[in-house]
């Protein structure tokens, strides 16, 4: 069995369609971190305004996917309407599901640019446009299939790391990765991570690097930096971000961030805000 199938087989998710039809108003979705939202815009103009102030404007059929349920406002500009199909994506194990660690915060793709999903989308939209016994269940299952195909597309396109996929599909490494992601503030060492994996220190270090391509310490730093960037975008104060992301002091965080990103956390945030 291929790695993506192994991962999806071990870590379940399922869709529940909650809206299907024409829409001309606005609706706010709160970020939960444990379930996501899938929006399929079949026609019309739609704006997705995120809690960090950024905006996605859709003017052609498109898919917008928030795996971790990023907080956003879906609104239809005045004088317009849109035809939508929206689903909540619920992940087994909630926020501990490893799938949430390999997917981006948001994904926006025009439907015309998504090759390989045409047949599923056609079937989905045809089913959505008619009444019939079992339609709701069919729509839910088709959304499940659509997401599997979407993840396969991202994997084959290089957006999802093959090494990380392999590690998440491995029961030993998955435990260590889960511990790093769930408790980044802990003072992780090679010994404590090896204990999470149920392996010896030497065996864990060698196996981790072989599978993921980087040493455990490097992966931990990258993971903490990714979390820090996400928290900064959400408006958390720099001092609090450093502690939450696992750095021992604000100065340690600033030095590490500057070394990785080329600018200090505050300078990076200013640049991100200006870029809009």
Residue 93 φ then ψ, to 5° = 70, 10
Per-residue pLDDT band for 275 (boundaries 50, 70, 90) equals low
In CATH terms, is domain 3-162 a member of 2.60.120.10?
yes
Q: What architecture (CATH level 2) is domain 173-275? A: Orthogonal Bundle (1.10)
Q: Is the pLDDT of residue 124 over 90?
A: yes
Instruction: Name which of 46, 1, 54 is nearest 19 in CA terms.
Output: 46
Residue intervals in the chain for CATH 2.60.120.10: 3-162
Cα separation, 69 vs 260, in Å, equals 28
pTM score: 0.66
Per-residue pLDDT tens for 176-194? 988 888 888 899 999 999 9
The partner residues of 84 in beta bridges, in order of sequence, read 21, 41
Per-residue pLDDT band for 21 (boundaries 50, 70, 90) equals very high
Residue intervals in the chain for CATH 1.10.10.60: 173-275
Residue located via tokens 């839910």: 140
For helices 171-182 and 162-169, angle between their N-to-C axes, nearest 10 degrees:
100
Q: Is the pLDDT of residue 169 over 90?
A: no
b/e per residue 189-198 (b: at least 16 CB within 10 A): ebeebbbbbe
């Amino acid at each position: 069995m291929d790695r993506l199938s192994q991962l999806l087989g071990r870590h379940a998710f399922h869709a529940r369609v909650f809206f299907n039809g024409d829409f001309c108003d606005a609706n706010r979705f709160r970020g939960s971190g444990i379930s996501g939202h899938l929006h399929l815009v079949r026609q019309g103009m739609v704006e997705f305004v995120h809690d960090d102030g950024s905006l996605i404007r859709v003017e052609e059929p498109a898919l917008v996917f928030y795996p971790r349920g990023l907080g956003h406002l879906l609104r239809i500009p005045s004088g317009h309407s849109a035809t939508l199909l929206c689903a909540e994506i619920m992940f087994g194990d909630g926020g501990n599901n490893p799938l949430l660690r390999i997917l981006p915060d948001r994904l926006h793709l025009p439907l015309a640019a998504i090759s390989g999903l045409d047949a599923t989308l056609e079937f989905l939209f045809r089913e959505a446009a008619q009444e019939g016994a079992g339609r709701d269940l069919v729509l839910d299952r088709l959304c499940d299939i659509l997401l599997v195909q979407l993840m396969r597309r991202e994997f084959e396109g290089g957006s999802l790391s093959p090494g990380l996929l392999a590690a998440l599909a491995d029961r030993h490494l998955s435990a260590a990765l889960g511990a790093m992601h769930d408790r980044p503030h802990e003072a992780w060492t090679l010994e404590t991570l090896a204990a999470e994996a149920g392996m010896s220190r030497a065996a864990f270090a060698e196996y981790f690097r072989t599978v993921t391509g980087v040493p455990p310490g490097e992966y931990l730093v990258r993971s903490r930096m990714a979390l820090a960037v996400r928290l900064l975008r959400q408006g958390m104060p720099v001092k609090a971000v450093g502690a939450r992301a696992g750095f021992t002091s604000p100065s340690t965080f600033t030095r590490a961030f500057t070394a990785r990103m080329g600018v200090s956390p505050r300078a990076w945030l200013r640049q991100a805000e200006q870029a809009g």
